[in-house]
Every structure is written in C-alpha cells, then in structure tokens.
A and B are shown apart, each in its own frame.
Chain A
Amino acid sequence: MSGRDAATPTWLGLIPGVVLAALFLVPFGIMLAVSVALRDPSGSGFYTWGFELQSYARVFTFFVGRILFVSMTIAAGAAVISVALALPFTVILAQMSRRAQTVILVILLSVLSLSEVIIGFSVSTLLSQTAGVGNLLALLRITEQPRAYTPSLFALMTGLCYLTFPYSVLVLYPPVARLDPELVEASRTMGASPLRTFFGVTVPLLRAPILGALILVFVFALGSYLLPQVLGRPEHWTLSVHITDQAVYQSNLPFAAAMAVVLLLAALALVGLALLVARERRAA
C-alpha cells in the first residue's frame, strides 16, 4: 500500500462494524441472557428474565451427556471417513487440468450448497423400498424382496458422508493445490512408486492441513440437523436436533440456549485449535 495513506477511508469500517455488532453479537448476548433466564412454568410465555443456573445444571446430566457423546461420535466418524476419502481425491484433483478441475469443483460446490433437506430426501429415496438400492438389489435377485435401508445408522452415516465429502475436499483444496509439485516429482525421480510417494511425501507434508480439515469437518458434521431426523432413528439424534426440539416444540428456550452455549464453546475451542494448527504450519 502507499506509504502516505491507506486506500480506504476510516468510516468505511463503521458500516459492517455496526451491522455485525447489532445483528450478530447482540443475538449471542441475548442467547446468553436467555440461558440463565427463569423458565415460565405456566407454559404461556417462554421465559422471564432472571438469573439461575438451572438450565446449565440440566445440560450436565447423564441425558445430555449421552446426546453429546452420540453427536460427537457420529460427527467424528463422518469426519474421519470423509477426510480419508477426500485426501487422495483432492491430491488427484489438484493435478488435473484447469478445465477438469473447474467441472469437478462446480459439481462439488453444487452438492455442497444443496439443502440438507434435499440431501436427506435424496439419500432416503436412494435407500428406500421403492426406488434405488433396495429395488436394484431385488431386480438383480440378490435379495428376495425390495427392502428399505433407512432409517438406520448406516443411512445416517451415508448421508453425513455425502454432506461432508465436498466440504472436506474444499477445505483440503487450498493447501493441496499450493503443494510444490516438484517435491512429488523429486520423489518419483528417486524411484518411489506413486502410492509410496503419496504416503511418504504428500501425506506427511499435509499433516497439519489434514488435522485442521478433520476438525473443521467434525464441527460441520456436528451442526447437521436434518439428516439425523430423516435418516436416523431417535437414538441417533444429535445435540442440534435436541436444541431445536427444546426451543420450538418444548418451548424451553433457556434449556435450548444453555445447550447452544455449551455447543458454541466446544465449537469455538475446536475451530480455534484448527486455526492454531494452520498457523503453526505457516510458521514452520
């Protein structure tokens, strides 16, 4: 930038600053206040302002603990599978011509921006009795009768992987695309096979981005709200589902807010960790 003055006037930062503070920070502040508000037992309104830690006490019970454990296990499973599938995919993708990359990126972005509702609907249709896999297997006479594979843990994991795979690729894409291709070529000239090069050079070089991607994909999967309802059974419902359930159907906003605050802190800690990992890599 010019040494004399900045390229933009000072007041320019005010607009987004005020808007974001008013419409993003204030809602979080209110949510924090609601999480310690008194629940109105009559059920007429949602809550009255006050201060009690009742809702937080409920968060740290066995019931919520189990939900949190289930949510995290499911999200972690989906993150590991997605990133494991996405890593070789991204490495190959980054070596393709620009045209091929663009085509694949367009499809990935399209799938990524699809509503969870539509993904849930698509996967459930694919796994249903009347269309897709069940039908196909019956047609090929592998099974006697067409059967549905949803709802089930398998269907839920399939849906989550479908949801998180494009995200994993796009998170891994920048560091993979910036990898010096000569490192890989050097390994090849020294006699390493492609597979050996992948595990001996590419993966170690990308250790930090892979870890970062795992965390980000985990948080992304943790936020999944519709798939557990469409594809899973009630015991697979994640914290996101329960938060909505409490807020909208049980009219217990303080409890929903308290769960959301806990989820927020967990997510912030994890995202912070992912950023830290990314920064350390840049410093190295």
Chain B
Amino acid sequence: MRSRLGAFYVAVLMLLLVLPLVVVGGVSLNGGQNLRFPPQDASFRWYGELFRAADWTGPLRNSLVIAAVAALIAVAVALPLALHAWGRGGALSRVLYTLGVAPFMLPPVITALGFLVFWVALGMYGQMAATILSHGIFLVTLPLVTTSLGLQGIDPALLEAARTMGATRGQVLRTVVLPLALPYIISGYAFAFVLSLNEYIIAYMVAGFTVETLPIKIFNSLRYGYSPIMGVVSVLFVGLAILVYGAIGIFGNLPRLLGAEQVREG
C-alpha cells in the first residue's frame, strides 16, 4: 500500500481531522461576541480576555492545579506498581496491573458515578481534593503503561552487571533502573496531565457545581451563551497537546511508546 493513492488517503483523513480545529481556531479570532467563520474583524482580543475575565480565570486555574497534582498522584501510584509487576510478576501483580488499567478501559461514566457516591459517602463531594484524587486514580493507566514499557526495555544484564559491581537492590533501582525509565515516567506524567486537563465527566460528577474546570465551563457556555473564548481555550488545549506530544516525539521514541517494535529510521 505504499502507493500515491495510500498517501492521498492518509492526507485526506488527516485533513478531515484537522478541519474542525481550523474552524475553531478561526472562530476564536472573531472580534465581536459571535462565532463566525471566516472570522469577522479578526483580532486576538479574546485571547487576552481568557486571562482577564474572572469567570474564565477561575476555571483555568482550577484545571491547571487539578491536572498538575492529579498527574503527580497518577505517577506516584503507577511507578511502584509498574516496578512491582516488572520485578516480580506473579498473580498479585497481574491483579494490581489489571486494576491499574481498568479505569481507562471502561466507559468513564461508570468510574465517574463510582467516585460520586464514594465522595458523597466520605462527605468530600464538591471539593477540589476529590476531583484531584479521582483524576489521579482514573489516569494511573497512562504512566503505568508507559513506565512498564520503559522497564521492559531494560536489558536484564545491566541489573546483573550492577549487582556484580557491588550495588545493593536499592542502589540498582536508584542508579540504573530509575534513570533508564525516567523518560518513560515523564511521558506518562505528560499524558496524564493533558488528559486530566481535558477530562469532563468525572470532574463534573464529583464537583461540577463548585469546582469548575475549563471543559465544564465550555460546556456550560455551549448551553448558556456562546463566546469566542471557547475557541480560544480549544486552540490552547490543542496547542498544548501538540507541544507535549511533540516534545515526546522529538526527545523520545513515540512509535515505540505506542507499541511498534521496530520502525524504519529516517
């Protein structure tokens, strides 16, 4: 299928994929309070407005705090789990691994409802901490998968070599395993950060009325009054995602991270 037809097919689909984003980008440039495309009186006015308008800066701050801390929690849970599964194997670590991957495989509304009743029972419903912890658990899958991939790529002879040179188990972990897995751990953090930023339903069910995040704010705006700021946020989110994944692509091996074993160089 390495034909011109094939390349054309890929190009058309990529174009269709990018098209709505282009339209939204255009919409964000409207000068007035309307959503026209092509934009009228093009200006970057609403880009400044996002950081000024009080009803948008709150959600912006909420989203960033939640994403930063939740991704950290996800990594803190995923790292020991990945290490355990990799270093020991066995039934227990398989069960734990499945638990770690499960939140992501199921329709998120189920997880969201589970968290809702959980936080209601604990009396933490509506608090930002509840959103953060929920996101942290929900997103464990991403750093778990990337870190496990990184660990699987480590030549076992490196660990044995370190042992023969006098390193204790802890020293081997610290001086060999963690440095080699670090790029994968960082990738996992980045994935979790971006997805937390974009996550809607869990944030909404756990604390939607008190802790507004950007996706919740956009959805509310879709119902109660459109504004080009929605386009601005979309553009920023797309930009951030491209930045993060682009960085992983440049400094890491994205095809391998996503499951390809060998890729032609070039």
Which A residues lie at the B interface, using CB under 8 A? 1-2, 5-10, 12-13, 15-17, 19-21, 23-28, 30-31, 34, 46, 85, 88-89, 91-95, 97-99, 101-111, 113-126, 128, 130-132, 135, 162, 165-166, 170, 173-174, 177-178, 194, 197-198, 202, 216, 219, 222-223, 225-226, 230, 239-240, 243-244, 247-248, 253, 256-257, 260, 263-264, 267-268, 271
Contacts of B116 in A (CB 8 A): 247, 253
Asked if A13 meets B88 with Cβ closer than 8 Å, knowing A89-B13, A98-B264, the reply is yes
B165 contacts partner chain A, Cβ-Cβ < 8 Å: no
Instruction: Collect the chain A residues with CB atoms within 8 Å of residue B80's CB.
Output: 12-13, 15-16
User: Residues of B contacting A202 with CB < 8 Å?
Assistant: 1
**Within 8 Å of chain A (Cβ to Cβ): is B51?**
no
Contact of B198 among A30, A97, A118 (CB under 8 A): A118
Query: Inside 8 A of B160's CB, which chain A residues have their CB?
Result: 2
Residue B6 is within 8 A (CB to CB) of chain A in the complex: yes
A116: chain B residues within 8 A (beta carbon): 200, 215
Are the CB atoms of B86 and A7 closer together than 8 Å? yes
Contact A113 B17 (CB under 8 A): no
Interface residues on B, range: 35 or more
Considering only CB atoms, which chain A residue lies closest to B83 in the complex? A8
- CA–CA, A177 and B259, complex, Å: 8
Within 31-84 of B, Cβ neighbours of A (below 8 Å) are at 34-37, 76-78, 80-81, 83-84
Asked if B81 contacts A13 (CB within 8 A), the reply is yes
A254–B222 alpha-carbon span in the complex (Å): 29
Q: Complex Cα distance A165/B14, Å?
A: 11
Q: Give bound CA distance, A125 to B234, whole Å.
A: 12
In the complex, what distance in Å separates the CA atom of A95 from the CA atom of B120?
Answer: 51
Given the interface contacts A109-B245, A257-B117, does A8 sit within 8 Å of B88 by beta carbon?
yes
A71 to B202, CA, bound (A): 20
Contact A117 B200 (CB under 8 A): yes
- With beta carbons under 8 angstroms apart, the residue of A12, A122, A264 that contacts B24 is A122
The reply to whether A17 and B96 form a contact with Cβ atoms under 8 Å apart is: yes
> B151 CB to closest chain A CB, in angstroms?
9
Contact B35 A128 (CB under 8 A): yes
Contact between chains at B200 and A173 (CB < 8 Å): no
In-complex Cβ contact of A257 among B2, B108, B113 (8 A): B113
User: Would A1 and B109 be within 8 Å (CB), given that A13-B81, A114-B198, A225-B201 are in contact?
Assistant: no
Evaluate contact between A117 and B114: CB separation under 8 angstroms. Answer: no
B161 CB, nearest partner CB in chain A, Å: 11
Could you mark each residue 237-259 of chain B with 1 if its beta carbon is under 8 Å from any beta carbon of chain A, else 0?
Answer: 11001100110010000110011
Contact B87 A130 (CB under 8 A): no
Q: Which residues of B contact A (CB under 8 A)?
A: 1-3, 6-7, 9-10, 13-14, 17-21, 23-24, 26-27, 34-37, 76-78, 80-81, 83-84, 86-88, 92-93, 96, 99-100, 102-103, 105-118, 120-121, 133-134, 136-137, 140, 156, 159-160, 163, 169-170, 172-173, 177, 191, 194-195, 197-201, 204-205, 208, 214-216, 218-219, 222, 230-231, 233-234, 237-238, 241-242, 245-246, 249, 254-255, 258-266
Contacts of B27 in A (CB 8 A): 125, 131
Looking at chain B's contact residues, the main secondary structure is: helix
Choose one: A15, A23, A260; the contact of B113 (CB below 8 Å): A260
Given A89-B13, A113-B195, A16 and B84 contact (CB-CB distance below 8 Å): yes
| Cβ–Cβ contact B137 & A173, under 8 A | no
A16 and B169 form a contact (CB under 8 A): no
Q: Which residues of B contact A230 (CB under 8 A)?
A: 219, 222
CB <8 Å contact, A226 and B96:
no
- Who on chain A is nearest to B266 by CB? A97
Docked Cα-Cα span, A202 to B1, in Å, equals 10
User: Which one of B37, B156, B238 contacts A110 once the chains associate, using CB atoms below 8 Å?
Assistant: B238
Contacts of A264 in B (CB 8 A): 106-107, 110
**Complex: A170 Cα to B104 Cα, angstroms:** 14
Report Cα–Cα, A122/B18, bound state, in Å: 10
A103 vs B246: C-alpha distance when bound (angstroms) = 8
**Which residue of chain B has the shortest Cβ distance to A45 in the bound complex?**
B120
* Minimum C-beta distance from B220 to chain A (A): 10
For residue B258, which residue of chain A has the nearest CB? A173
If the complex has contacts A7-B169, A271-B105, are A174 and B77 also in contact, measured as CB distance less than 8 A?
Answer: no
Known interface pairs A118-B198, A130-B37, A223-B108; 9 further A-B residue pairs with C-beta atoms within 8 A, sorted by A's residue number: A1-B159, A13-B81, A19-B77, A88-B9, A109-B241, A115-B197, A117-B219, A197-B1, A260-B114
What are 13 residue pairs bridging A and B, where the CB atoms are less than 8 Å apart in the complex? Answer: A2-B160, A20-B81, A105-B245, A108-B17, A117-B218, A122-B24, A125-B24, A131-B26, A194-B3, A197-B1, A225-B201, A226-B219, A248-B208
Q: Shortest Cβ distance from A71 into chain B, in angstroms?
A: 10
Those 10 A-B pairs whose CB atoms lie nearest each other, nearest first: A174-B259, A131-B37, A223-B107, A8-B87, A177-B260, A122-B20, A16-B81, A27-B118, A27-B114, A110-B241
